[in-house]
Amino acid sequence: MSKAIAIPESIHYSNADIAHGEPSISLAVYTLALRELVRFFRQRTRIIGALGQPFIFWILFGAGLQGSFRGPAGISYQEYFFPGVAVMIVMFTAIFSTISIIEDRREGFLQGVLVAPVSRTAIVLGKVFGGTILAVMQAVLFLAIGPLLAFVGLSPPISTGLTWFNFPVVLAYLALVAFALTSLGYLIAWPMDSTHGFHAIMSVFLMPMWLLSGSFFPAPESGWLSWVIRLNPLTYGTAGLRRLVTPNIDAVAGLPSFPLCLAVTVASAVAYISIAIWMTGRQTAHNAR
Amino acid sequence: MSDRIAVSVCNLRHRYGDHEALCGIGFTVSTGEIFGLLGPNGGGKTTLFRLLATLLPVQSGTATLLGKNVATESRSVRQLIGVTFQSPSLDGKLTVAENLLHQAHLYGMSGQTAKSRIDELLDRLGLKDRARDLVQSLSGGLKRRVEVAKSLLHQPCILLLDEPSTGLDPGARHDLWEYLSRLRRDEGTTILVTTHLMEEADRCDRLGILHRGELVAIGKPDELRLSVGGDCLTIQSLDPKSLAEKLANRFQLTPRQIGESIRIEGNAGHELLRDIVTAFPNEITAISLAKPTLEDVFISRTGHRFWENEPV
């Protein structure tokens, strides 16, 4: 058999698909992100888990730790923990929306996407945007409803710096943090064959990453722990949000400056998404499984 | 049928670690042809399918679809092909129509174009009344139909199907093949299908038989059967072992015992049948005379039974 089989130039393709041309990236990203949203709202348990857990954490930890907590500038634990819970919501949503990559692969759905003539970048962006939208929606809901719990006695009154005025900025910043964390979840989930592996990574890497980001407790002045927190990129995500939603300036005085927070968060988002796109673009035997 | 080449595979090799799944195979498929890749599980069919579907990296050799190289022009190849997977690539949490719309978007169709194309396929595959049902609520046969509809949305020139009959009852299998034949006839779609079912292989225009990563035979099903030659006698007996020995002594034959039955290949089968029945009337529970089957082709080319790796 000859190696090069010449196809006459004059071939007329009877089928119409060639006329479709290159499918657009935006349409592919839109449809993949939309699928994430539709799936989320059809799985009632996911909604309950995603919204219920952070509220329970906030109320219970708040009630349990408020006596012993000495926060910066004397703020209550609930007030301190408030932005931390928002970051937790973002992280859990990122985790659960990217864990679906493993399910998509196992159930065969992913193969169908991979044989479509869409750019691999679109596949990554679709998933990550879907997760980002879900995360931001839930975090905003928490930021809006959380302070109202004081009226039913579940928390002491807390003052949030969230106003109609800075809402767009908070929204944009949450979206940035969510984009970074969903990209991180994506690049962890992509090479995995089972959700068990992902759960292991979640316990030993993602949960500590959140715990050591200044979300749960403030960084000590010195010692190894202070260094771990300083080197954790998520510290800057949390600190940036804290600066935006804490009205008490003294309470955030010890945190990294907002421009630094923004720079680190943008840089980590770019790094995570780049690795995710690179991984997805590689043609490996793993993709065909 | 036309003589234009739809699929051309040349010296294609693929290994997973130490295991060689494809040992340098080559074949061509013309446009408008239904080409079957027949072989037992583990023969290399699925590896070949995945290479052609651009899911696996090409390690050595070349494969082109309508002149587009699978390795270097995968985007163009993806435009040309529709792919039906063995386990349907559907989202169970979406409805049938939503799955199809998602697929349409991935292939660059939207709005009215997508809608009318989806309606057309729902209609053609008899899925219209299930369009709003969640895919997870459908039976295996219906899911497969949705999968086929999905792979045809963008009017691919080449349709690749991996074991399309898996999990289908005979009725649904029959319907699927009727539809594939119609598709080829009406739209000239080239169809490449992997299968381990002889009955399915028989419906293909041409077949390649894959065994342990090698293409051991290629041709039209009838030609392949003729190549084995002669007739096939199959005898059922309560004691096949002793009957086989008696037959061997009496008629100087080499009967093959396969499970509970005895097979004899040779010429002038009708005369042999008469002689055997006359000689051992009480030891035969059933006897049949047939032309060789594709299974016989497989056995004669590989020296192996289709389902097992042990020598016959």
B168 and B23, same structural domain? yes
- For position B310, what pLDDT does the model report? 45
The answer to whether the CB of A206 falls within 8 A of the CB of A183 is no
B33 and B170, same structural domain? yes
Name the residue among B29, B25, B27 with its Cα closest to residue B4. B29
Instruction: Indicate whether B301 belongs to any domain.
Output: no
3-state DSSP assignment of residue B31: coil
- For position A11, what pLDDT does the model report? 37
Instruction: Indicate whether B308 belongs to any domain.
Output: no
Two tokens, residue B200: 């399915």
Taking CA atoms, what residue in A is nearest to B29?
Answer: A5
Count of domains in chain A?
1
The last residue of one of the domains, among B172, B207, B225, is B225
Name the residue among A85, A269, A84 with its Cα closest to residue A184. A269
A114 closest CB neighbour out of B55, B93, B187: B55
> Where in B169-255 does DSSP place strands (E)?
190-195, 206-211, 214-219, 231-236
Instruction: Indicate whether B245 belongs to any domain.
Output: yes
**Tens-digit pLDDT profile for residues A161-193:** 778 888 999 999 999 999 999 999 999 999 998
Give the CATH number, domain containing residue B159.
3.40.50.300
B21 and B113, same structural domain? yes
The C-alpha atoms of residue B150 and residue A114 are separated, in whole angstroms, by 14
Instruction: Indicate whether A217 belongs to any domain.
Output: yes
Burial of residue A154 (CB within 10 Å: 0-12, 13-18, 19+) is: middle
B36 and B86, same structural domain? yes
Name the residue among B278, B276, B277, B300 with its Cα closest to residue B217. B300
Measured between CA atoms, how close is A47 to chain B, in angstroms? 15
Q: List the 86-105 stretch of B: residues with Cβ below 8 A of A.
A: 86-94, 98, 101-103, 105
B164 and B61, same structural domain? yes
Q: List the 151-170 stretch of B: residues with Cβ below 8 A of A.
A: 154-157
pLDDT value at B279 more than 80: yes
The C-alpha atoms of residue B53 and residue B74 are separated, in whole angstroms, by 9
Taking CA atoms, what residue in A is nearest to B134?
Answer: A42
B17: pLDDT confidence band, cut at 50, 70 and 90?
Answer: confident
**Tens-digit pLDDT profile for residues B122-178:** 998 889 999 999 999 998 888 988 999 999 999 999 999 998 887 778 888 888 899
Name the residue among B178, B44, B36, B148 with its Cα closest to residue B86. B148
**Tens-digit pLDDT profile for residues A238-259:** 999 999 988 788 888 888 999 9
Range of the domain at A52: 24-288
Q: How many residues does chain B have?
A: 312
List phi, psi (to 5°) of B30.
-80, 160
Contacts of B191 in chain A (CB under 8 A): none
Taking CA atoms, what residue in A is nearest to B26?
Answer: A1
Q: List the 170-229 stretch of B: residues with Cβ below 8 A of A.
A: 187-189
Two tokens, residue A26: 């935006």
B218 and B89, same structural domain? yes
Instruction: Indicate whether A173 belongs to any domain.
Output: yes
B45 and B153, same structural domain? yes
Taking CA atoms, what residue in B is nearest to A16?
Answer: B155
B215 and B237, same structural domain? no
A38: pLDDT confidence band, cut at 50, 70 and 90?
Answer: very high
Range of the domain at B275: 230-291
CB distance from A222 to chain B under 8 Å?
A: no
DSSP B138: S
Two tokens, residue B89: 């690539």
Q: How many residues does chain A have?
A: 289
Complex-level ipTM: 0.84
In chain A, alpha helices (H): 17-20, 25-42, 44-65, 77-107, 109-114, 120-145, 167-189, 195-201, 207-210, 224-231, 233-245, 258-281
The C-alpha atoms of residue B141 and residue A203 are separated, in whole angstroms, by 40
The C-alpha atoms of residue B223 and residue B192 are separated, in whole angstroms, by 19
The answer to whether the CB of A229 falls within 8 A of the CB of A215 is no
Q: How far is CA A89 from the centre of its chain?
A: 9
Q: Do B94 and A35 touch (CB under 8 A)?
A: yes
Contacts of B64 in chain A (CB under 8 A): 5
Count of domains in chain B?
2
Q: Do B66 and A7 touch (CB under 8 A)?
A: yes
Contacts of B53 in chain A (CB under 8 A): 115
Instruction: Indicate whether A166 belongs to any domain.
Output: yes
**Tens-digit pLDDT profile for residues B199-245:** 888 899 999 999 889 998 899 988 888 877 778 888 888 888 888 88
Instruction: Indicate whether A13 belongs to any domain.
Output: no
CB distance from A112 to chain B under 8 Å?
A: yes
**Tens-digit pLDDT profile for residues B97-111:** 999 999 999 999 989
- How many other C-beta atoms are found inside a 10 Å radius of the C-beta of residue B167? 16
Instruction: Indicate whether A167 belongs to any domain.
Output: yes
Measured between CA atoms, how close is A64 to chain B, in angstroms? 40
Measured between CA atoms, how close is A10 to chain B, in angstroms? 11
A17: pLDDT confidence band, cut at 50, 70 and 90?
Answer: very low
Sheet holding B68-69, edge to edge: B19-30, B5-16, B60-65, B68-69
Instruction: Indicate whether A254 belongs to any domain.
Output: yes
Instruction: Indicate whether B33 belongs to any domain.
Output: yes
Measured between CA atoms, how close is A106 to chain B, in angstroms? 10
- For position A172, what pLDDT does the model report? 96
B220 and B272, same structural domain? no
List phi, psi (to 5°) of B12.
-80, 125
In A246-285, alpha helices (H): 258-281
B37 and B63, same structural domain? yes
Contacts of A108 in chain B (CB under 8 A): 85-90
B55 closest CB neighbour out of A16, A117, A288: A288
In chain B, what percentage of residues exceed pLDDT 90? 46
CB distance from B53 to chain A under 8 Å?
A: yes
B184 and B60, same structural domain? yes
B63 and B212, same structural domain? yes
Name the residue among B285, B301, B306, B181 with its Cα closest to residue B238. B285
**Tens-digit pLDDT profile for residues A41-95:** 998 887 788 788 888 888 888 888 888 887 787 888 888 888 999 999 999 888 8
